Structure 1
Amino acid sequence: MSTEATTVREVPLPRSAPSSRGVDARGVAAFVDALENTPGVEPHSLLVLRHGDVVAEGWWAPFRPDRPHLLYSLSKSFTATALGFAVAEGLVDLDATVLSYFPEFDAEITDDRSRRVLVRHVAAMASGHREETLDRAVADPSGDVVKGFLRIRPDAEPGTLFCYNQPCTFSVAAVVQRAAGQGLLEFLRPRLFEPLGVDPANLGWLRDGQHREIGFSGFHAPTELVAKLGKLYLQNGSWDGRQVLPAGWVAEATRSHIDNASFNDNPDWQQGYGFQFWIARHGYRGDGAYGQFCVVLPEQDAVVAITSQSPDMQAVLDAAWEHLLPALSGDLPADAAEHDAALAARLGSLALAPLEGPPVADGEFTPATGSRPASLTAVRVAGGELVLHDSGQELRAAIGHGAWADSGPLAVSGAGTRVDVRFAETPHLLHLDLADGRFTGRWETEPLHAPALATLRRPE
C-alpha cells in the first residue's frame, strides 16, 4: 500500500436532526445537564451518532471542533486498529511471540514466561503480570521499554491473568512499527485516516526516545475522529461501501478475551476486555484518563464520543445509561421538532465558566512553597498578558477578562489575584493564585506524562 504523502480532504460526518434518526432530543439535553452538574465531571466536547449521522454535537468553549484533544488511553483503541491492519496484511501474527519481533533481545530474555508472551496476550492486557510494570520497564538500563518489559518475569502464565499494564500496549505499538517499518501515524494514514476523510496534519502522537509512537497514550485528535472510529467499528469495518478494516478484526477486537471482574469496583470496568477495548454494560468502548470516550452501542446503532476533564469516569457512563439509552428508543413526542431546535440552540452556546472580577494587576511572581508544577519558576503579568517561565522556556498568552482568551494551545481567564490556564489541546487546567510577589500553582487534574508545560499540546 502506498504511503506517499497526499493532501487529504477533510470530509465531515453527515448531520441530521435527532428526531429524524429516532432520537429524543430531551434525553440528550438531560445527558448534557448531567455532565454539567455532576461533581468530578467537566465536559469538553460531545458527539452523538445514530444510524451513521451526527444528531447532537457541542463543544464547551474554549474547546472547539477543529482543536485536537489529548486522548490518553483512548489512544490504545487506535493502536489496536493499527494492529488489525497489520494482521490483515500478514505483517503481524497474533500467535507469534513479542520477542520474535525483536530478535536482537533474544539472548538476554531468558525467562521462560517472558519468552511465551504472544502478541495476542499483550493486545488483551494478559501478559501474566499482576501489576502495572511501566515504571520498571522505562527504568531498564537499555532505555528500551519493550526490552525492559520482557525482562520482568510474568507472575502467571501469559494469557491467564488480566492486568491493565501500559507496556502491553507499548509492545503492540512497537511490534506494528517494527513489522511495518514506519510509525503508527504514517502507517494509519492511507489505511484509516484517508478513507475516513481525516487530515493527518491536525493529529499528533507522543513518541519515546527512539522516535516510536508510544501507543498506550499520547494521541491527540479532534473529537470527530473519535466518532469516526466508533462509526467504523459499529459498521464492522465498512466505510462508504468499502471494507476498510476487516469485519473479522472488529468482532475479535471487541469481544472479551480475558476476565477482568476484579479489576476495580466500577461496573463498566468489570465486563471483560477485548483487544484494547473495554466491554461495558452496554456495548463496548475505548476510553482514556479524565474522561475521553468512544462508546459504541451496536444494539442502538449509536456512537457517543466525549472529551472531558472528568476524574469520575463511571459517572459519565452512568449518566449515558440513564439519559441517552432511553433517548435512543425511538419513542418520540409529537413536538419532537421543537425539542430538536431547543437542543441545537443549547449545544451551540456551551461554555466553561471564565473567571469574573476585576482585571489581574501587573506584577512578577516567584513560586510559593509547594506550588505545582515544580518546573514553573516564574510568572509575570504585564498589560493583560501572562508569561510563564517553565523548563527553560517562555509561554505567552493573553488573559481574558470575563472570558477565555484563546492563544493557540492556551486559553486563559483571569480576575483579581487568580489566573486559570487551560492547556486546551489536553484535558488540563492550571490554577494560579497571585499574591505578595508569590504564585501558587494547582492542577485541577495533573498531567500523567509529567511534561514541560510547553509540551502540553499536540506533538508536531
Structure 2
Amino acid sequence: MNNKLLNDTISSIKEQNLDVLNIVVRQDGNIIAKHDFVEEKPILLWSVSKTFTSMGVGIAISEGYFKINDHIIDFFPEIPQGKINEYTKKITIHDLLCMGSGHTECPIEKADWSNGNTHDICQLFFDEPVVFEPGIHFTYDNSATYMLSKIIKITTGTSLDEYLDKKIFQYLNIPKPKWDTCPNGIPQGFSGLHLTADQLSRFGQLILDKGVWKDKQLIPTRYIEQATSVQIETSDFNPYFATEDHHQGYGYQIWMNSYPNSYRMDGLYGNYVVMLPDKNAVITYVSNEQQNMTGVLELTWNTLVDKL
C-alpha cells in the first residue's frame, strides 16, 4: 500500500473543499492506495447504478433472453399500437443502452416522486414524443435505463437486483446490496444501488478485466468492449456542469473520458469509477459533493494519472 500516492489528491480535495468520502486506487489487480475521509459504508451511488444495469443486460443477452437489436415494443404488448409512432417502434435494446431512444428530454422529469406516488415510468417512456431517429441523438434519459431493468424482469423472471446478485455480486464477495425500487417493485436501474467504495472498486476491476474475475468469465468480453467504446456522440450534451469529459461519447451506460482510451462510471455528487486500461488502473471515488462534482473527477487528471 502506497498511500503517499494520494498526498496531492488529498491536498487538492482540502483546498477545494470537496466532499469526498472515500478513494480507492487499484493497479494490476490490487489496491495500491486508499484514503477514507469518513468510515466506509454502503452509500447511494446514483447513476453509477446504470453501469450495473448495463452489465446485467450483457449477461442476459449472452444467456439468450433477448438480443441487442430487439425492438423494445415487442416486450410490451399491452401498449396500444395506435399510440406508438414509427420512431418508437424502431427503438431497440441498443438504443436504450446508449441513451439514443429519440426523446428530447427524460420522461422521468414528469414523474411525481412526492409521498411515494409515482407515475408508471414505462407509461411515461411510451408517452414521451420520439422526435429523433432512434440511435442518433443522445439524451440523458433515466427512463431508458429503467426500461432495461424492467425488460430483465420480463424476460428472465428475476428482478435486476436478484439477477446481478447471482451473476456478479456473489462472485465478488459482495453481500446482496440494497437497490431502491419503484412502487411496482422493479429496481430503478438508473439509480438506487448502495455499495461501499471498496465493493464498487471490485466491480470497476471486473470491467477493466473484460468481465473476468478470478479466472471466471462473469460478463462477456465482447459486450464490455462494446459498452466501453463510443456508441453515440455526446458533443451536443451541454448541461451547466458539462466539461470535456462529457463530450467524448457514450457507450452502454458508460462515459468515455477526455484522457485517451479511458472510460468511467458516473454518478451524481461526485461518485465515479475511472478505468484506465493504459495504466491497468481503476480509481474509485465515493462522494457527496453537491457544488462541484466534476471537480472530483478532475482530481484524476490533475493529481493522480501521471503518478501511475
**Structure-2-length-normalised TM-score:** 0.92
* Separation of aligned partners in 2, 1:269 and 1:142: 30
Q: Would you say the 8 A contact 1:161–1:258 is kept in 2?
A: yes
Aligned-pair CA distance for 1:241: 1.0
Q: Report what 1:286 is aligned to.
A: 265
For 1:161, the aligned partner's letter is H
Change beyond 3 A, Cα 1:152–1:138: farther
What SS class does the counterpart of residue 204 from structure 1 fall into?
Answer: coil
For 1:284, the aligned partner's letter is Y
What SS class does the counterpart of residue 302 from structure 2 fall into?
Answer: helix
Q: Which has the larger radius of gyration?
A: 1
* Separation of aligned partners in 1, 2:187 and 2:118: 18
Q: Report what 1:439 is aligned to.
A: none
Q: Report what 2:93 is aligned to.
A: 119
User: Which of residues 201, 208, 214 is equivalent to 1:240?
Assistant: 214
Q: Report what 1:156 is aligned to.
A: 132
Q: Would you say the 8 A contact 2:248–2:256 is kept in 1?
A: yes
Pairs within 5 Å for 1:289-368:
289-311=268-290, 312-328=292-308
User: Which of residues 199, 209, 219 is equivalent to 2:175?
Assistant: 199
* Separation of aligned partners in 2, 1:232 and 1:222: 16
What SS class does the counterpart of residue 23 from structure 2 fall into?
Answer: strand
Q: Report what 2:159 is aligned to.
A: 183
* Separation of aligned partners in 2, 1:229 and 1:38: 28
What SS class does the counterpart of residue 229 from structure 2 fall into?
Answer: coil
Change beyond 3 A, Cα 1:177–1:122: same
Aligned-pair CA distance for 1:58: 2.2
What SS class does the counterpart of residue 145 from structure 2 fall into?
Answer: helix
Which structure 1 residue ranges, 4+ long, deviate > 6 Å from structure 2? Answer: none
Q: Would you say the 8 A contact 1:198–1:225 is kept in 2?
A: yes
Aligned-pair CA distance for 1:320: 1.1
For 1:305, the aligned partner's letter is T
Q: Would you say the 8 A contact 1:48–1:54 is kept in 2?
A: yes
Aligned-pair CA distance for 1:142: 10
For 2:295, the aligned partner's letter is A
Change beyond 3 A, Cα 1:138–1:112: farther
What SS class does the counterpart of residue 104 from structure 1 fall into?
Answer: coil
* Separation of aligned partners in 1, 2:167 and 2:215: 15
Q: Would you say the 8 A contact 2:98–2:251 is kept in 1?
A: yes
Give 1 or 2: higher strand fraction: 1
Q: Would you say the 8 A contact 1:253–1:275 is kept in 2?
A: yes
Aligned-pair CA distance for 1:87: 0.8
Pairs within 5 Å for 1:232-271:
232-264=206-238, 265-271=242-248
* Separation of aligned partners in 2, 1:246 and 1:109: 37
For 2:303, the aligned partner's letter is H
* Separation of aligned partners in 2, 1:233 and 1:44: 23
User: Which of residues 29, 39, 43 is equivalent to 2:7?
Assistant: 29
Question: Which protein, 1 or 2, shows the higher relative CO under an 8 Å CA cutoff with sep ≥ 6?
Answer: 2
Aligned-pair CA distance for 1:92: 2.1
Q: Would you say the 8 A contact 1:223–1:305 is kept in 2?
A: yes
Q: Report what 1:431 is aligned to.
A: none
Aligned-pair CA distance for 1:182: 1.5
Query: 233-242 vs 313-322, which deviates more?
Result: 313-322
- Pairing 1:78–2:22 present: no
Q: Which runs of 5+ in 2 are unaligned?
A: none
Q: Which runs of 5+ in 1 are unaligned?
A: 1-16, 19-24, 329-460
* Separation of aligned partners in 1, 2:213 and 2:185: 31
Q: For residues 213-266 of structure 1, what are the alpha-carbon distances to aligned partners after superposition, in whole Å with 9 as ceiling and x for unaligned?
A: 010011111112210111001111111111111100110111111110121241
- Pairing 1:110–2:75 present: no
Change beyond 3 A, Cα 1:37–1:167: same
Aligned-pair CA distance for 1:197: 1.4
* Separation of aligned partners in 1, 2:36 and 2:82: 50
Pairs within 5 Å for 1:361-440:
none
Q: For residues 133-164 of structure 1, what are the alpha-carbon distances to aligned partners after superposition, in whole Å with 9 as ceiling and x for unaligned?
A: 2133669x994211221121211111110010
Aligned-pair CA distance for 1:132: 2.2
For 1:100, the aligned partner's letter is D
Query: 275-284 vs 104-113, which deviates more?
Result: 104-113
* Separation of aligned partners in 2, 1:314 and 1:234: 22
**Structure-1-length-normalised TM-score:** 0.63
* Separation of aligned partners in 2, 1:215 and 1:241: 28
What SS class does the counterpart of residue 78 from structure 2 fall into?
Answer: helix
Q: Would you say the 8 A contact 1:79–1:173 is kept in 2?
A: yes
What SS class does the counterpart of residue 248 from structure 1 fall into?
Answer: helix
* Separation of aligned partners in 2, 1:137 and 1:153: 15
Aligned-pair CA distance for 1:294: 0.9
